Structure 1
C-alpha cells in the first residue's frame, strides 16, 4: 500500500476513495479498522471511521489505531480526510486528531486544505467559502451538530489544536509547486506545524499535491488528494488499469437524514415523481414511527420505475426544537438508529440498491449493516461515487448532505444499476 488514508466519516471516505480511483489508483475503502492485512493489489487504503462528532479523546484513539494498521501495510504517505466544510466544534475533533497523527508520525508539518472546487468549496486568505458565501453564511452556521460560525480556518483550527498554525496565501499558490514548497518550508521554519493552504481551482490543488510529494502527513477534503496519484505514477509505483466494478439490479430505496439545504431541495425534486415519506424527528423520538413501519412502507411502494424515499430532513429550527425537548445527543442517536434499523430490515428483505444521504446517517447505516469494505465504482456526482459491498451484491451511494445535484436520488439509482446517467431508473 502506498497511501494510507483516515476519514472521519463514511461519506467523506467514499468521496476520497472516488478521487483516488479517478486518478488511477487501486483503492479499497475499509469501514472501520480491519483486523487482517490489506490485499496486495491495494495501492490506496481508506479507513473510514465514524469519528467526526464523538468525544475528541475517542476520535484520537480510533484515528491512532487506524494509523497503526496503515503503517503496518507499509504506506509511504498518510492523509487525514475531513469534510470540505471543516465540520467541527471549537473543541475538535479535527485539531486533536491532527495533533496526534503529527506526533505519532513525527511529521514536521501537516497541510490543512479543505478546498474542493468541484463542489464550490474554496479557501482564500485562510477563509473557507461555499460558492460565493463565507462558510459562516452558507447554512453551515445552523448545522445541528457542528455549527460553523467562523470561516477563518486558521482561527478555528487554532482553538482546537495545541500546535502552531501557519498559512500559505494565494499569491504563493498561483506561482506553482516550487513556490508552494518554498512557502511551506518558510512557514515550517517559523515554527508552524499545521499550515492552512489557499486553493480556488483544481489546478491549485494539483500544484499543491506536487509540492507535498515528500510530506509524510497531509490533511483536507478529498480535493487535497487530486494531485497525489500523479506523484506515485511519476515514481513508477502504480500499476496500469483501473478497478473493476459492476452495478446491481433489483429493489432500490433511498434514506435521507440530512437537514442541509441541498438535501432538502433533492427531497422536494424527488418527491415530484417518486413516493416519499417523512420520518419526523418527533415521531421517531416518541416511538410513534418505528423502523419496521418505514421498511414496510418502502417495500409496499417498490416498483420498476420508482425510488421510494424515507427522509428525516426538517428545517434547522424544527430540529433545534426536537433537540431542546429530547436532548441533542439523544435526538441524533435515535434518528441514526432508526435509519440503521430500516436499512437492516430492507437488506434482509432482498434490497440490492441503497442510497443514503447525510454523513452521520451513512455511518450509522454502514455500521448497522456491518459492511467491512467497499469496492469503488463510477462517480454519480462530484464527491459521490457508486459503491459495492466487497464480495457482496449490495450497491450503495453514500452522500454528504451538501453534495449532489437536485436529481441525485434518481440518478444514483440508475448508476447503481449499472446504467449511464442518461438511462432510465
Structure 2
C-alpha cells in the first residue's frame, strides 16, 4: 500500500476514495479499497490506496484522536509512504471539535510541521480564499451550514477555527503563492515549518490549485483536507513508477433496491422532492419513531412491497423544524433513534435479499454500514462528483452508494440505482 487515508465519516471516505480511484483526467487512478473501521487483518497486496472510514466527526475529541491514531498505526503497518486526514469540505466541526485535535495528533505522531489544511472542493462549490471557506458565492457561515443539526458552522475563518481547537501555531498560504506554482508553494510551506507552524491553511479556488498543492506535497508525510486535496496524489506515485495498471471496469449488480435518507441538508430535501414526483416515498415522523409506532419492520415492509419502483424512506426536515424537535427531545436522543432505525432497516433489507442500497447523510451512512458489518469495499465508477459506486464482493454481493447530505444532482437517487446496476 502506497497511500493511507483516515476519514472522519463514511461518506467522506467514499468521496476521497472516488478521487483516488479516478486520478487526474487521462492518467488513471490507484487501486483503492475502503475499509469500514480499522481492519483486523492486513490489506490485499494489490491495494495501492487504503481509505479507513471512521465515525469520528461528532464524538468526543479524545476518542476521535485515539481511533485516528489506531488507524494511522494500521496504515503504517501496511507500508504506506504518505497519509491523508480527510474531513468534510464544509469543515464540519464545533469550536471544541475534532478536526484540529486529530490533525495535530497525527502530525505529532509522524513528527512533521507545515502540514497542509485545505478543505476546498471546487467541483461542488467549496473554495478557500484568504483562509476563509466559501460555499459557492457565500461564506460558510451564510451558506445554510450555520444550521447544521450536529456541527453548526458559524465562522468561515478556518485559521481562527483551528486555533480554537489546537495548541500549536496555525499558518496560512494565500492564493497568489499557490497560483505561482508547486515550487513557490513548497517554499512557503517550508517557511511555515521554520516558523514552527504545525497546520497551514492553503487557499484553493480551482482544481488547478488543488493539483498544484498535490504536486507540492509529493514528499509530504501528512496532508489534511477535503477529498479534492488528493486530486494529484495518484499522479505523484505514477510518476515514480510505483503504480500498477488500473483495475477492470465495474459491470454492475442486479437485484432489489432501497433508498434510505436521513439527511436534513437542502440538497437532500430537493432530491427527495424530485424523487417523490415519480417514485414511492415514505416520510418517517420522528415522534412516531420515538413512541415506537414506526419501526425498522415498518420501513422494510414499505420498501419490499415496492420492489422495482425505486422506493425511498426518509426523515428530513427544514432547519427550523429540526431545531424545534431537538429542543423538545434532545439532539443526541433524536440522532441515536434515527441512526438505529435506518441501521436496523438496512440490516433487515440486506438479509432478505436487497442488492442495491443508496443512503443519504454522513451520520446515517455510518450507522448503516456499521450495522451491516461489511469488510473492504471496492471503489467503482463515479455517480456524481464525490460519490462513487461501492461494491462488497462475496457470496452475497452488495452495491452501495453513500452520499453526503449536500452532494448530488436533483435526480441523484435514480441515477445512483442505475449506476449500481451497471447502467451508464
TM-score (norm: length of structure 1) = 0.97
Residue deviations 1:60-93 (CA, integer Å, cap 9, x gap): 1100100010000111000000000000010111
1:106-125 residue pairs with structure 2 within 5 A? 106-125=111-130
2 CA distance for matches of 1:138 and 1:112? 21
1:143 is aligned to 148
User: Is residue 155 of structure 2 the alignment partner of residue 155 of structure 1?
Assistant: no
User: Is residue 398 of structure 2 the alignment partner of residue 399 of structure 1?
Assistant: no
1:186 is aligned to 191
1 CA distance for matches of 2:159 and 2:88? 16
1 CA distance for matches of 2:374 and 2:250? 17
User: Is residue 97 of structure 2 the alignment partner of residue 88 of structure 1?
Assistant: no
- Give the conservation status (yes or no) of the 8 Å contact 1:165–1:194: yes
Match 2:344 to one of 321, 324, 341: 341
2 CA distance for matches of 1:167 and 1:415? 40
1:20 is aligned to 20
- Give the conservation status (yes or no) of the 8 Å contact 2:261–2:361: yes
1 CA distance for matches of 2:285 and 2:168? 42
1:8 is aligned to 8
Offset at residue 243 of structure 1 (A): 4.7
1 CA distance for matches of 2:288 and 2:126? 35
Offset at residue 244 of structure 1 (A): 4.5
Question: What SS does the aligned partner of 1:375 have?
Answer: strand
Residue deviations 1:173-200 (CA, integer Å, cap 9, x gap): 1111011111111222122110000001
User: Is residue 147 of structure 2 the alignment partner of residue 173 of structure 1?
Assistant: no
1:42 is aligned to 47
1:316 is aligned to 319
Residue deviations 1:313-368 (CA, integer Å, cap 9, x gap): 11111111221122111110110000001101111111010000000000000001
1 CA distance for matches of 2:193 and 2:293? 57
Question: What SS does the aligned partner of 2:279 have?
Answer: coil
User: Is residue 99 of structure 2 the alignment partner of residue 104 of structure 1?
Assistant: no
- Give the conservation status (yes or no) of the 8 Å contact 1:109–1:217: no
2 CA distance for matches of 1:216 and 1:327? 41
2:241 is aligned to 236
1:250-399 residue pairs with structure 2 within 5 A? 250-303=255-308, 306-391=309-394, 392-399=396-403
Residue deviations 1:264-323 (CA, integer Å, cap 9, x gap): 0000000000001101222212222111101101111223xx210000011111111221
1:423 is aligned to none
1 CA distance for matches of 2:113 and 2:389? 36
- Give the conservation status (yes or no) of the 8 Å contact 1:281–1:319: no
2:26 is aligned to none
1 CA distance for matches of 2:178 and 2:288? 50
2 CA distance for matches of 1:272 and 1:29? 34
User: Is residue 66 of structure 2 the alignment partner of residue 61 of structure 1?
Assistant: yes
Question: What SS does the aligned partner of 1:193 have?
Answer: strand
The runs of at least 4 consecutive aligned structure 1 residues that moved more than 3 Å come to none
2 CA distance for matches of 1:164 and 1:390? 45
1 CA distance for matches of 2:140 and 2:287? 29
2 CA distance for matches of 1:243 and 1:226? 21
Match 1:70 to one of 64, 75, 87: 75
Offset at residue 108 of structure 1 (A): 2.1
- What is the aligned length? 418
2 CA distance for matches of 1:164 and 1:245? 45
Offset at residue 246 of structure 1 (A): 2.8
2 CA distance for matches of 1:158 and 1:390? 43
Instruction: Compute the RMSD of aligned alpha carbons.
Output: 0.9
1 CA distance for matches of 2:258 and 2:313? 8
Match 1:128 to one of 133, 138, 151: 133
2 CA distance for matches of 1:107 and 1:280? 49
Offset at residue 390 of structure 1 (A): 3.5
2:250 is aligned to 245
Offset at residue 245 of structure 1 (A): 2.6
2 CA distance for matches of 1:123 and 1:61? 29
- Give the conservation status (yes or no) of the 8 Å contact 2:250–2:422: no
- Give the conservation status (yes or no) of the 8 Å contact 2:390–2:400: yes
Question: What SS does the aligned partner of 2:383 have?
Answer: strand
